[in-house]
Structure 1
């Protein structure tokens, strides 16, 4: 941190005081002496309390992982600050970051640094640098100033918000244990039927009322409770629309990432297995797994996604889907490979649902330096092609549902659960 320098107030106090004192002596005006005495005394007090040690400042953030829209305190630490009386902090404006106080400025006494803190709130998911600020220290009586010095920001991993809750059953679960009602008979709490006793049946399953009425032993059968698998396929070929943060309009990438995070959190909360498969762009996939540790890995992978080029030539996608797994493809449906793969999976009997993440307002591209009329015409033609793709998916029995938060895919999952299970792909 740079050394101490006299403030403008100290220089003005010395100049005004000496000029007033000299004028009072030369012209014999006691009023000038009285007027200049105040600034001169303040300047003298500032010089007397001149600091001797240069302080060191750094900042820390209370969290390394935060959900978008939440806030974290930005704590400033001052070492060798015995000569510091006042600390002024100014946070540099950054995209998708809110600060409290709203203007990002805070000036407090050094003793109040632990009580009055700046609060930063990232407004969009991703790995973001937050809390870049300038800090200045002032000595008693405002005589000397140290700084301002740039304090670098801290990298904060911001996970997407979760807005999905569902009561729909998973289509055809085939795991070992879980919370979903299976079509198979097994150990569970859901009544399946009553049948005649067979060797190997548990005695506690005997239905005595039916057995006494019929004269033969009968047992109550239940449906097994199994877990399911969820494969999240996210389209990263491009971003359409503009993002306004957690409180503003959403781009196609915002909808895709937030929908994937919401579905993953819901699935893990019900004991299911989840996997992430990014298509296009730059991202790392996550293998099938369950539990909170696995969920943190998956959410961390979602914060690192980057889009690629929507004009890449992509052939047919090969997705390895195990038995009992449901495929959720999240895409604005502007790349043919996504719809082709969805139709292939549906025809092979794999439960698949396509979640449309194109923004409701359309997500038209920014024309930039190009002719706006030509860009608008090209976009309208692309939207018309997309409508044909949607009709083709519906005709092939592949459901398409727009993402709108809680309950978006419930009805689709119920219809898939009522279908006869197909083979694994």
Structure 2
């Protein structure tokens, strides 16, 4: 990928300022001392400064030399990535110096310049999207003018590390889609389902010869059918804030853990982000879906997301009977109503509460305020559970798989 930009903000360099200052001092002395012959020495200096004041047209091009798709770089947190950028002036005569600008959360470990190539090594300790911006400084007109341009050469997507612990989300799906989860129905699978008498049309390979010898009649072994689940991550975009909030990073890590576990189990996974308007990635399977979902979470402007209007998840974004795992602080009433609507449609819904157990007030607040806050949250948990939405408190320092153990294994029927 090649990014181009015209140099702007031309200004005088320190040598040009020194020449103009020297010429002004000489001209001032010629006036004060009534020595007009001194102007002869100042005239060439004024000429040099005047000739160098015309702003040239300089076009700077930055080319990512590692492939056409280098404008999107993916890595995991705490991993170092090395980028190589070729910088050249395609129009105009100028000497170009370039450097990668810092941004919050992105650490620049090293920058090396060799000829026209800039090699930089960057890393990030938190998941997120970080722009890679290069500031090119051009010096023209014999070193008398200096201009700069900032070029957006790409984005660095930092994904969270996932433990990959197995999880079994609840499902109320009625679709008999092939998968890896054993069901109560009989069919083609690997787990034992029972033994029954042979019937016409049964596969001869399913005959259980040991049971046949004991019962003196043909017996066949039944297997439990294996079906696939649909899992949808419902993400509260109000967590994003300025991108440095701890709740947002925890939510992204938790979503990544669930997505990876579900994809490894052969399930289809999608994501829906709410507030202010819904955007979503449809439920699919495959390794590429992991990157699609996390990129949608990290980048609100990701072009591969589908977009809609309203305050609830569109029906097309959540398959019927899918398991929904929501990440939110549950402070916004609109997000809670979106959970209730999904439960009414027949999905098994579990909400992960990212708010700390302590009341979000200052230490100077009265103790009664904290107790009232705790009672209100407990009442909200109970009311949500009454309508079939399981609310799970996830505190910092606890793995999400441990918080979900035994909580997402069975769904309730809608009331």
> What range is the shorter-chain TM-score in?
0.5 to 0.7
- Range that drifts further, 125-134 or 272-281: 125-134
For the aligned residue pairs, the C-alpha RMSD in angstroms reads 4.8
Which of 59, 63, 67 is residue 62 of structure 2 equivalent to? 59
| Corresponding position of 1:218 | 219
Distance 1:414 1:383, change over 3 A: closer
Deviation digits for residues 328-362 of structure 1 (CA, Å, limit 9, x no counterpart): 12111112344456567668874322112225787
| Alignment check: 8 A CA contact 1:257 1:302 kept | yes
Instruction: Report deviation, 1:326.
Output: 0.9
Q: Do structure 1's residue 169 and structure 2's residue 168 form an aligned pair?
A: yes
| Corresponding position of 2:247 | 252
- Range that drifts further, 183-192 or 171-180: 171-180
Q: Distance in 2 between matches of 1:376 and 1:65?
A: 49
Instruction: Report deviation, 1:406.
Output: 8.7
Q: Distance in 1 between matches of 2:176 and 2:402?
A: 21
Which of 260, 275, 295 is residue 300 of structure 1 equivalent to? 295
| Corresponding position of 1:32 | none
Distance 1:315 1:79, change over 3 A: closer
Tell me, what secondary structure is at the counterpart of 1:152? strand
Tell me, what secondary structure is at the counterpart of 2:187? strand
Deviation digits for residues 248-290 of structure 1 (CA, Å, limit 9, x no counterpart): xx43333334433442343233321223223322451233333
Which of 98, 101, 106 is residue 107 of structure 2 equivalent to? 98
Which of 70, 73, 78 is residue 83 of structure 2 equivalent to? 73
More strand by share: 2
Mapping 1:266-285, distance limit 5 Å: 266-285=261-280
Tell me, what secondary structure is at the counterpart of 1:95? coil
Deviation digits for residues 104-154 of structure 1 (CA, Å, limit 9, x no counterpart): xx56452xx54x61223456555543223244679xxxx968846333233
| Alignment check: 8 A CA contact 2:233 2:326 kept | yes
Instruction: Report deviation, 1:169.
Output: 3.1
Q: Distance in 2 between matches of 1:378 and 1:145?
A: 66
Tell me, what secondary structure is at the counterpart of 2:192? strand
Gaps of 5+ in 1: 16-52, 245-249, 307-313, 366-371
| Corresponding position of 1:386 | 377
Instruction: Report deviation, 1:215.
Output: 0.6
Q: Distance in 2 between matches of 1:317 and 1:176?
A: 23
| Corresponding position of 1:239 | 239
Q: Distance in 1 between matches of 2:325 and 2:392?
A: 10
| Alignment check: 8 A CA contact 1:171 1:414 kept | no
Gaps of 5+ in 2: 1-6, 23-55, 65-69, 302-309
Deviation digits for residues 289-346 of structure 1 (CA, Å, limit 9, x no counterpart): 333454444333323339xxxxxxx998886765552111211111234445656766
| Corresponding position of 1:204 | 205
| Count of residues paired in the alignment | 354
| Corresponding position of 1:156 | 155
TM-score (norm 1): 0.64
Q: Distance in 2 between matches of 1:65 and 1:295?
A: 15
Which of 274, 281, 285 is residue 286 of structure 1 equivalent to? 281
Distance 1:225 1:353, change over 3 A: same
Q: Distance in 2 between matches of 1:345 and 1:54?
A: 58
TM-score (norm 2): 0.65
